[in-house]
Amino acid sequence: MDANNYHIASRNYLGPVEVPELGGPLVRPDTAAAPTGESNVHRMASRNYLSPVELPRFVSPSASLAQPEAVFVPYGEHGVASTASSLPGRQTSHDSETTIIDLPSTGHLPYTAGGPRPYLQGKDVGSESTAPTVVVPVQKSARRGTHALIPEITLERTFFYTLWFLIQLTIFLSVGIYYLTTNDYKTARETMGPTLALSRAGAYCIIIDASFILLLVSRNFLSYLRSTFVSRYITIDKNIHAHKVVGWTIVFMTFLHVFGHTFNLTHVAAASAGAVTGGWLFFLSPVGITGNLMVVLLAIMVTCAMARIRRPHFELFYYTHHLFIPFYILLIAHGSFCVIEADNAPVCRGHPDFWKFFLIPAIIYLVERITREVRGRRPTQISRVVQHPSRVVQIQIKKESLKAKTGQYIYINCPEISRHQWHPFTLTSAPEDDFISIHMRMAGDWTREFAERLGCSSGKAKGAEPEKRFNPLRSRTLRRPGGRGGAPAAATSEFNPGEVVKTFGLPRIMVDGPFGAPTEHVFDYEVAVLVGAGIGVTPFASVLKSLWYRTTQPGKLAHLRKVYFIWICRDIQAFEWFQDLLVALEEENLGDFLEVRAYLTGRLSEDQIRNLAIHSTEEGPDALTGRKTPTYFGRPNFDQIFADIAAQQLRKKVGVFFCGPKPVATTLKRVCRTYSSAQDTNGSNTGTVFEFHKEHF
């Protein structure tokens, strides 16, 4: 191999990407692997592949490069990488359908073992292993395409939709059959025809669904259910998804109700011999006015709740969603006008019916709102504000009455901005801290204005006192990640990170919560896998801090014995505050208890590539992050990762906790199901069970 060539070994990659000159732009070839042996070629794996690749420590150009023991080659016919050299502990079957790996006897993933940088298949070249051999199935991972738009069909999802459909069908048919057969409404049925049953069946579905939907947004009520046996049978964390399903059901039933009444009122007008017209009944009568107003309010709420509007304009969504208050008032009034009268009834019998179903959910929701107001007015003090790079603000809050668990979330209100807006934030502090903290990114109108009132801005903190980077675990200073060993960080910021803003004169805030989240159950498992993607890493800051506290106190870890943390991030600089925590955890020497894997999926700038080439050393910290463990470039190969964990953690129940985009969640669900039934070389089931939990944010 030419002395000027730098090779990056890939883990299950289809082919390399050439960088013609150091620091130059990445050029992705259209074909397979490019020829080797060319002068001054630096290879890097493409960010668009599913498997990760590790950037090795670049040596000085003046140093001599030894011939590598393994060189990078493309996939075989069936997607299995092959190697030009013999690697101890690894065999490749001749049919190229499965890869056989001798796993190390430790609890580490093969590609996270200490020592030299792991290369091909994540195995340290030259290492020995006496662990049993397992067969790792090679599976095709889902790629982006048209099929990604189709929701994944799972047993849980099928059961939920089937149950909900049967409930609605039962209500609809029972009411419809009653109005088609009963003698109480014989005259109305003869006047209006079969659409009478259609409109009344749709109305009763609306009545029940509009009452039930309030329970799905009663946060304290749901938190109570989480602590009971109900949580064993119902996934409480999917209340927002259920809220959406019920909302769309109301929309559909409203369509059926309006469609039926369009014919009903026309028939009534015809039977009145000119006393009233269909237009008057539909638009000017009390029942017509209230009905049309409800349709307009429902259309506004549904439109503003769609993701395209809700995400960039949260305030618009928040305020328009409170139109549910006049909607319910109109719904009560709408049924009281007795358009459909029973035969031989002195009064409008059976109307209105809505209040009968609405009363109990309304009381629960009213108590919810009162509790929110009372709890929010308890003494709350902002004790510290720290502005981090990439428009991230850390807020530490003193509230003695608030007792939180790991990964829970709170709602914050700033009356100076808006008296009625409450915004959710995941707690990044541990339960063992004497404060609660959040990390807020200035992304919307409210967060930007709140940050400005805290003394921060998109540039430098106003009146901020410069401070050295602080340890998130202890109140001591931390060295800048890139500053160790004389290697500057590849990522730079436009101001010194960790700037502390003076806390006098800060606005008053109200805090409601905390509320439950799936990560509360991390310590219920013996083995936990934490996967955070992008901003979804936030809940795990609380978990990782709590892990450190508990490792210093015997017996506090409960059943937990091993934690794998996988962090997927497009731009590490955007989450530099989280890097501080990871660096601090590494300095605590948690040993075999915690393994951290960071995957960078975004493109590197020319300056970053140049810095990596110059400052990377074999034994020093990662030049990009300053951590002892390396950064991997590309997406993680979850099939390989979970196969390794299944083989290492035999006959154990593994809790998988994820927060991030839906496509990654879909992949994780699949691999959890697949490797819960993994087999060893003898055909025996490993006994490992993966239980998936997703944070909804």
Strand 423-426: give its sheet, edge to edge: 423-426, 409-413, 510-515
Higher pLDDT, 188 or 70: 188
CA dist 543 and 641 (Å) reads: 21
Q: Whole-model pTM?
A: 0.64
Taking phi first (over 0 means left), then psi (-120 to 50 degrees means alpha), and beta for anything else, what does residue 89 get?
left
Higher pLDDT, 80 or 318: 318
Q: What's the average model confidence in pLDDT over 48-75?
A: 36
User: Per 3-state DSSP, what percentage of the chain is helix, strand, and coil (rounded to 5)?
Assistant: 40, 15, 45
Q: Is the pLDDT of residue 486 over 80?
A: no
In whole angstroms, give the CA distance from residue 540 to residue 537: 6
Which residues lie below 8 Å from residue 466, measured CB to CB, with a gap of 6+?
496, 499
pLDDT at position 6 is 36
Distances (CA, A) of 422 to 314, 315, 585: 11, 10, 33
- What's the confidence (pLDDT) of residue 163? 92
- Structure confidence at residue 139 (pLDDT): 42
Cβ partners under 8 Å of residue 366, min gap 6: none
The pLDDT value recorded for residue 400 is 76
pLDDT of 170 reads 95
Confidence bin at 52 (pLDDT 50/70/90):
very low
133 CB contacts (<8 Å, ≥6 apart)? 100, 101, 102, 103, 680, 681
DSSP codes of every residue in 285-318: SHHHHHHHHHHHHHHHHHHHHSHHHHTT-HHHHH
More confident call, 535 vs 566? 566
Q: Which residues touch 682 (CB under 8 Å, ≥6 apart)?
A: none
Q: Look at 31 and 668; give whichever has higher pLDDT.
A: 668
* CA distance linking residue 231 with residue 222, whole number of Å: 9
Q: Among candidates 23, 30, 35, 113, which has minimal Cα distance to 73?
A: 35
What's the residue count for the chain?
697
Cα distance between residue 618 and residue 627, in whole Å: 13
340, 587, 345, 598: which is closest to 471 by C-alpha? 587
To which H or E segment does residue 658 belong? strand 653-659
User: Is 72 in a helix, a strand, or coil?
Assistant: coil
Each residue's pLDDT tens digit, 425-472: 989 888 888 888 998 888 778 888 899 888 887 644 443 443 444 455
Q: Which stretch of DSSP H or E encloses residue 223?
A: helix 219-226
pLDDT of residue 458: 61
pLDDT of residue 657: 92
- Please tell me the least confidently modeled range out of 478-482, 553-557, 624-628: 478-482
Reduce the DSSP state of residue 412 to 3 states and report it: strand
In angstroms, what CA-CA distances link 289 with 333, 466, 470? 11, 62, 62
Highest mean pLDDT among 136-150, 335-349, 577-591, 617-631: 577-591
What pLDDT, on a 0 to 100 scale, did the predictor assign at position 120? 26
Mean pLDDT of 341-347: 67
**Cα Rg of the chain (Å, integer):** 30
The fraction of the chain above a pLDDT of 70, given in percent, is 65
Q: Alpha-carbon distance 361 to 154, whole Å?
A: 30
Higher pLDDT, 530 or 272: 530
CA distance 416 to 449: 10
Write down the H helix ranges in 59-194: 155-181, 186-192
Beta-sheet pairing, 631-633 with 594-600:
parallel
Residues forming beta bridges with residue 691, ordered by sequence position: 655
pLDDT, greater one: 80 or 548: 548
DSSP 570-600: S-GGGGHHHHHHHHHHHHTT-GGGEEEEEEE
Per-residue pLDDT at 563 exceeds 80: yes
d(CA 497, CA 480): 9
The whole-number average pLDDT for the span 252-270 is 90
Q: Is the pLDDT of residue 267 over 50?
A: yes
Confidence of residue 16 (pLDDT cuts 50, 70, 90): very low
Give the tens place of pLDDT for each residue, 182-205. 888 888 888 888 899 999 999 999
Q: How confident is the model at residue 506 (pLDDT cuts 50, 70, 90)?
A: confident
CA distance 2 to 129: 32
